[in-house]
Amino acid sequence: MTALKPTAGKWSGRPDHDPILLKGCDEAGLSIAFACGGGDPRREEYVANARLIAETGDVLHETGMTPRQLANQRGELLASLRWYVETDEVSDSPGNEYWIEGKRRAEDIISKCEATT
């Protein structure tokens, strides 16, 4: 069985259309998803959902990974950084500036990640 591949290229939302179209930039310009919402009070929600679907396709093509795969990889990287920060016993001795800076950067990244979860 051949693996299915998503529409190549930049995905874009067309919220000015009803229904809201999402298109992949292939030769045919085929719609890959849509969200109805004309006149509906939840139209903004539908537009946001359509843009999220388009962003998912863009992330896949930019990274080669699905959002789930990226989330799993992020978790693994974050766990590794936490381990490094918690177990590293670098001293403030002269000559350790490189290691001290590395640990500081790791702590900054951990803080950023924890702020978004």
Q: Is the pLDDT of residue 76 over 70?
A: yes
Q: Is the pLDDT of residue 107 over 90?
A: yes
Q: Is the pLDDT of residue 31 over 60?
A: no
Q: What is the mean pLDDT of residues 39-57?
A: 75
CA distances from 46 to 10, 25, 27, 38 (A): 20, 21, 26, 10
Query: What does the block give as tokens for 17?
Result: 């259309």
Q: What is the mean pLDDT of residues 64-74?
A: 91
Query: What does the block give as tokens for 69?
Result: 């795969």
pLDDT of residue 89: 79
Partners of 13 in beta bridges: 22
